Each structure stands twice: as C-alpha cells, then as structure tokens.
Amino acid sequence: MFHINDNFQKLPGSYLFAEIARRVKEYQQAHPDADIIRLGIGDVTKPLVPAVIDAMHKAVEEMGHEETFRGYGPDFGYDFLVNAIREGDYASRGINLAYDEVFVSDGAKCDVGNIQELFSDDAVIAVTDPVYPVYVDSNAMAGRAGDYVNDKWDRLVYLPCNAENGFVPPLPDRPVDVIYLCYPNNPSGTVLTKEQLKPFVDWAKENGALIIYDAAYRAFITTPDIPLSIYEVEGAREVAIECCSFSKTAGFTGTRCAYMVIPHEVCGLDAAGNRVSMNALWKRRMATKFNGVCYPVQRAAAAVYTPEGQRQIKEVIAAYLENARMIRESLTAQGFTVFGGVDAPYIWLKVPGGMTSWEFFDLLLDKCRIVGTPGSGFGPSGEGYFRLTAFNTLEKTRQAMARIGNLKL
Ligand code: PLP
C-alpha cells in the first residue's frame, strides 16, 4: 500500500469555516424560520462593475472567432494586464517594477499557499497571530509547522497581535527564515504605517529572512500615508514578495484573478551557500505547474485600471467601508471595544463578559441570528476576540446592529 503525506493528519479538526457552516446548519435545522444574517465569511456580495463586465463580454466574443480566438496564454499573464498592474498599482505610487517581476495568477490563496514550495523543508516560519489560516496550514502540510499541541504548532514562531500592543506585531525573538505579514490585516482589520513596517524590512535584511506580504485588502486603505504596498518601504525590494488580488479590490472572488510580485533582488541560499533568485525559481515553478488565467478574466481584470473601472470599484469599496463604519460606531456606542474597520472590511471586537470566542459565536447565533467568526479560529491570540465583516448589504448590516443592540450585554 502506498503512503500518504502524514502532515495532513496533523491538521486540527475541520477548517474554521467548515466548523462554522456545521454549527449554522445545525441551528437552521432546529430553527427553520430563523432569518440569519451572515457577517462571517469574507466573501463579497456586490456584483462585478459594468466596466469589468463589458471587458469580459468583449473578450468572450473574441474567443468565438477564428481571427481573435486565443489558446494557452503566457504563463505569467498577458502583457496588457501585467502592464496595467505595473502602471496602476505601482508606477502611480512611485514604485517601478520590471515586466517579469509580476506574475498573474488565479488567486492570492493559491499564491500564498504555493510559494512555500520554494522554501527549504526545514525553514522556520513566523506568522502574526491571529492570522489568515492559509499561511499556517500550507506550511503545516509541508511539515514545517511541526506538531499541533495545545492549540499551537510547536515549530511555528507566533508574533502575537492584541489590544495591548496595538496590533503591531513584535519582531521575531529568534532566527526565522520567513515572516508572513498581511496588511490591511485579515482578521483584525488593522494596518501598519511605513514606520511600523520598516523594522520588519530591516530585520529581514539583517537576518537573511524573507517577507511574504499579503496586500489582498490594499484597495480598502483610505487613511493617508498608510502604505498600499510593502515596496513603499525602503529596502523592501531585497527581502519581500507581495501578493495582491482582484477578489476584494473588484469583486473577483468567484471570477479568480490575482498577482504576485517577486523583485529580482530577492534571493535565498541553496545547500551550497549560493544566492538563488526567487523570481527565477517562481518562473520555473509557474511554467511547470500553471497554464495561465483565462483570457476573458484577464481582460476583465485589466478593465479595473481604466478610469471608469477605477471610479466604479471605488464606489463599491466605499459602500463596504460605510458598512464597516456603521458596525464600528454602533458597537462602540453599545460599549464594545472594537478595532479595524477603517482601512479594511473587517471589524475585530473584544468578546464581552469573559466569554470565549466560540461561546460568543453561539450566543450571537442563538440570540441575534447573526453569524460571525470566532477569533480563536485565527490563532491562539485570537481567543477572546470576534470578527465581523462589512460585506453584507447596508440593510442587513443595519438590522444586525439593531439585533446586537437588543442584546443588552
Ligand atoms: N489573502 C487574504 C489575507 C485573504 O483574506 C484572502 C481571502 O479571503 C485571500 C488572500 C484570498 O484571495 P483570493 O480570492 O485571491 O484567493
């Protein structure tokens, strides 16, 4: 009989959202008439904007004619999209990226999950805590996280982020090879200034570490001077890989398009101690395992950078941020302590009355018929916190806040 990768056996229970779905289903079966409001999963609800749809329609039409039909596209993305990304997301902010430093993909989840294939088997990984679970689980599957003991992976270095440190992660207190950072942060909705990010870049340079910077929520940043890209921090080109996505920027969660930036300067050591370009390794990996993103989807993504596209997606994001503001302000007025929700679609609240995150989940579901996400599902430092998202409609969000108001905690 063949053997499996035993690391999969070490993964704890069910994936966070599967457990939430299980509890909601159970509740629904017991209360078939309950009108449940979902402020849990981080999926968008508003449709693709007209500029995106028009571009996608045109591209679909092209696929139906011999003269304009396209087969396999370039492994790393079509020129029109790569150049739109370079110009729209980087050059416009004073960051110059070479053409072959941008890799178009079908999702930031795949990118942040797949990038670990380039790390050595015994690389030491640091994650902020709480954390987007994909960074942890993808490394656990490769055996780098060690064993899951008492709700923690014993080979991971956790960088706790909490109300006490203002959600600014401490630098690692021991050598690590890779640090995952995500800003605006999922789940806490908090951001870091350039001055707060700079020590990470400096630390990575001094210690020969790599930063994986997940900027999937960059489009939500409204506060002036908050960096949209880690490359706004001096020296980051030497140590950081950045992941971005059209999912939250432009509602592509079901359409699938993202990109990763790997500057030529980013190098790791091989077993013989030679410096090896991560950009070259990723090209090799993508050329072997990926055949590009569907042409109409890339055309649709490029439309995000047109003037109409920009105007339209900004309106959508403003609507989500309005929900976030409403959640933040009404919870604060009700006496909750809340974080995030200014430059992100996530609101991170302190669970009242000494309850655990899952106890508060059950209470909100039972008494308010609201589904949120227990903070403990994002890591040990998430215990005692709870995540609400701004992706529902204005009306549902308002109703949800009224229901919580009636809780009288
Ligand atoms: N990165 C973070 C921090 C996310 O929260 C998410 C989705 O929720 C993703 C990446 C996934 O992005 P994509 O839809 O491009 O796979």
Backbone region of residue 36 per phi and psi (left: phi > 0; alpha: psi in -120 to 50; beta: other values)? beta
Classified as helix, coil or strand, 269 is: strand
Residues 300 and 205 in one domain: yes
Classified as helix, coil or strand, 104 is: strand
pLDDT of residue 230: 98
For residue 116 and ligand 1, the question of a CB distance below 6 A is answered with no
Spatial CA neighbour of 241 closest among 271, 282, 273, 202: 282
Spatial CA neighbour of 389 closest among 61, 115, 50, 38: 38
Residue that is last in its domain, among 306, 330, 349: 306
d(CA 250, CA 289): 26
CA–centroid distance, 407 to ligand 1, in Å, is 32
Cβ neighbours, 10 Å, residue 383: 18
Residue 24: alpha-carbon gap to chain centroid: 24
CA–centroid distance, 180 to ligand 1, in Å, is 14
- Residue 258 lies inside a defined structural domain of this protein: yes
For residue 187 and ligand 1, the question of a CB distance below 6 A is answered with no
Spatial CA neighbour of 103 closest among 299, 306, 298: 298
For residue 133 and ligand 1, the question of a CB distance below 6 A is answered with no
Question: What residues contact 226, with CB distance under 8 A and at least 6 apart?
Answer: 191, 192, 193, 343
CATH number at residue 351: 3.90.1150.10
pLDDT of residue 14: 67
Q: Are 101 and 132 in contact (CB under 8 A)?
A: no
- Residue 202 lies inside a defined structural domain of this protein: yes
Residue that is last in its domain, among 306, 324, 348: 306
Local mean pLDDT, 10-residue blocks, the chain (409 residues): 96 81 94 94 93 98 98 96 98 97 98 97 98 96 96 96 97 98 98 98 98 98 97 98 98 98 98 97 97 97 98 98 97 96 98 95 96 96 97 96 87
Residues 39 and 59 in one domain: no
Query: Of all protein residues, whose CA lies closest to atom 2 belonging to ligand 1?
Result: 216
What are the two backbone dihedrals, phi and then psi, of residue 102, each rounded to the nearest 5 degrees?
A: -110, 130
Backbone region of residue 341 per phi and psi (left: phi > 0; alpha: psi in -120 to 50; beta: other values)? left
Classified as helix, coil or strand, 198 is: helix
CA–centroid distance, 305 to ligand 1, in Å, is 20
- Residue 1 lies inside a defined structural domain of this protein: no
pLDDT of residue 115: 98
Q: Is the pTM for the entire model greater than 0.95? A: yes
pLDDT of residue 46: 96
Residue that is last in its domain, among 251, 273, 306: 306
Residues 58 and 42 in one domain: no
Residues 110 and 259 in one domain: yes
Cβ neighbours, 10 Å, residue 148: 16
Residues 209 and 284 in one domain: yes
Please state the length of the chain: 409
For residue 138 and ligand 1, the question of a CB distance below 6 A is answered with no
Q: Are 49 and 219 in contact (CB under 8 A)?
A: no
Backbone region of residue 143 per phi and psi (left: phi > 0; alpha: psi in -120 to 50; beta: other values)? left
CATH number at residue 162: 3.40.640.10
d(CA 83, CA 85): 5
For residue 255 and ligand 1, the question of a CB distance below 6 A is answered with no
Residues 163 and 177 in one domain: yes
Spatial CA neighbour of 105 closest among 312, 261, 320, 265: 261
Domain encompassing residue 140: 53-306
d(CA 358, CA 150): 17
Per-residue pLDDT tens for 292-318? 999 999 999 999 999 999 999 999 999
- Residue 324 lies inside a defined structural domain of this protein: yes
- Residue 274 lies inside a defined structural domain of this protein: yes
Buried b (16+ CB within 10 A) or exposed e, 235-268: ebbebbbbbbbbbbbbbbbebbbbbbbbbeebbb
Residues 273 and 390 in one domain: no
Residues 61 and 13 in one domain: no
Per-residue pLDDT tens for 145-178? 999 999 899 999 999 999 999 999 999 999 999 9
Residues 327 and 366 in one domain: yes
Spatial CA neighbour of 290 closest among 119, 105, 161, 55: 105
Residues 338 and 279 in one domain: no
Structure-token pair, residue 171: 């630098």
If one counts the domains in the chain, the total is: 2
Residues 290 and 323 in one domain: no
CA–centroid distance, 254 to ligand 1, in Å, is 12
For residue 258 and ligand 1, the question of a CB distance below 6 A is answered with yes
pLDDT of residue 183: 98
pLDDT of residue 161: 98
Residues 345 and 316 in one domain: yes
Mutate to test the pocket of ligand 1, among 16, 135, 248, 297 (most ligand atoms within 8 A of CB): 248
- Residue 156 lies inside a defined structural domain of this protein: yes
CA–centroid distance, 405 to ligand 1, in Å, is 31
